[in-house]
Amino acid sequence: ITNQNLPTTFYAQLDRHTPHLMALFIQKASKTGKTANALADIFKAHDAQELHDVHTRRTTVLHALPVYLREETSGFLRTCVG
């Protein structure tokens, strides 16, 4: 582990799985229920973005993941500013 660049490895794997995860989350968002509504809101925000680059797709997937897993979203994703 000490010889690997963990952020690079993480983002490479995230990018690899993003298309499948987005398809899975969109499929769930098309159904009814609290989780589906929350996922639909996340994808509405994603669709409202002018630019759909790798960063917006990563952000969307990382925000949708705890919702899909029905985990508490407040502490799941930490954003570092600075």
| pLDDT tens-digit readout, 30-42 | 998 999 999 999 9
Q: How does pLDDT run across 15-29, given as a tens digit for each residue?
A: 999 999 999 999 999
Q: Is the pTM of this model over 0.85?
A: no
Residue 29 contacts residue 21 (beta carbons within 8 Å): no
Mean local confidence (pLDDT), 57-78:
86
Whether residue 77 lies inside any domain: the answer is: no
Residue 57 contacts residue 19 (beta carbons within 8 Å): no
Whether residue 75 lies inside any domain: the answer is: no
Domain with 62, as residue range(s), is: 6-68
**Residue 50 pLDDT > 50, yes or no?**
yes
| Confidence at 72, pLDDT banded by 50, 70, 90 | confident
Burial class (CB in 10 A: 0-12, 13-18, 19+), 36: middle
Mean local confidence (pLDDT), 55-75:
89
* Number of domains comprising the chain: 1
